[in-house]
Amino acid sequence: MSDLLVEIAGGVAVVTLNRPERRNAFTSAMGRALGQAYRELDADDAVRVLVLTGAPPAFCAGADLSGGGDTFGSPDSAAFSASPVDPPAYALRKPVIAAVNGHAIGIGMTLAMQADIRILATDARYAIPQVRLGVLPDATAHWTVARVAGMAVAADILLSGRAFDGAEACRLGLASRSLPAAEVLPAALEMARDMAVNTAPMSAALCKRLLWDTAIHGYHPSYVAELETELHLRVMGRPDAAEGVHARLEHRDPVWSARLSAEWKDLPDS
């Protein structure tokens, strides 16, 4: 079976890390497959929202340690990247929900931190323990954790490498919700399906890009205001701006017409 499964239905793509016999331990092949899936799904107008999850019983147990002491041996420096999924989830134009349905350790957690929204299993175990393994956090965790939850939380989690559960993750601001493990994926799918139907594709894409670009570049509020104005001018007067209002007044699902594949234009500093 493939180490990565992709299922698309109703505008939602479910991307599943699929090595359940190894608790979905991460490999370089899985990283390449995930990056390719992200690129293809981001280019597909039929896909509105992505949900990243793991084949039970875990989300991702971290790096595959079957190589023992050689797991983190010296790599080919020309080929190695500490961010092995290209593009990261935050670089996509479409919302990505991490349905963290079980243990997420190391790169399992750092990949989840690249998503826009995280729903975690309450009683599962989470950690970014690379400093306890003689290496250091990866997948831009030094940036994502600090941006999502703040510098104090990033220092606590990354420098200690300690474990925590889903309830604490929510208290720290690392996740939106924690639920019993069996409820995580259904909750993520419910959210994704609602977004796929009710949010305008161009509006959601521009909103996501502005959120992450502001985090990446540290935009001043006055510049964010300028960009919001520019982006409003892109969508106001377009068919979807009228459709959203008509659908709301007529109490029906909207029928969106914008196509990212043909109409997308990046923000000025993207």
User: Other CB atoms closer than 10 Å to residue 40's CB: what's the count?
Assistant: 12
Reference 108, options 30, 191, 225, 199; nearest CA is 30
Tokens representing 270 are 């993207």
Do 96 and 187 belong to one domain? Answer: yes
Please tell me whether residue 264 adopts helix, strand or coil conformation. coil
At 4, the amino acid letter reads L
Q: Which residue has the tokens 């990247």?
A: 81
- CATH number for the domain that contains residue 236: 1.10.12.10
Task: Spell out the residues 6+ positions from residue 48 whose beta carbon is closer than 8 angstroms to its own.
Answer: 11, 12, 94, 195, 196, 199, 201, 204
pLDDT in tens, the chain (270 residues): 599 999 999 999 999 999 999 999 999 999 999 999 999 999 999 999 999 999 999 999 998 887 777 777 777 777 888 899 999 999 999 999 999 999 999 999 999 999 999 999 999 999 999 999 999 999 999 999 999 999 999 999 999 999 999 999 999 999 999 999 999 999 999 999 999 999 999 999 999 999 999 999 999 999 999 999 999 999 999 999 999 999 999 999 999 999 999 999 999 877
Query: What is the maximum span of the chain, computed from C-alpha positions, in angstroms?
Result: 63
Structure tokens at 72: 């983190």
Closest CA to 107 of 31, 176, 19: 31
Q: Cis omega (within 30 of 0) on the bond before 56?
A: no
Do residues 32 and 134 share a domain?
Answer: yes
**Do 42 and 142 reside in the same domain of the chain?**
yes
Q: Which domain holds residue 190?
A: 4-67+78-195
- Same domain? For 234 and 188 the reply is no
Contact 87, 53 (CB under 8 A): no
Asked whether residue 270 is domain-assigned, the answer is no
Mention every residue, 6+ apart, whose C-beta is less than 8 A from residue 75: none
> Based on the structure, what is the number of domains in the chain?
2
pTM: 0.96
- Whether 105 contacts 121, CB under 8 Å: no
Q: How far is CA 130 from CA 160, 164, 170, 226, 255, in A?
A: 9, 15, 21, 40, 46
Element (H, E) at 120: strand 117-121
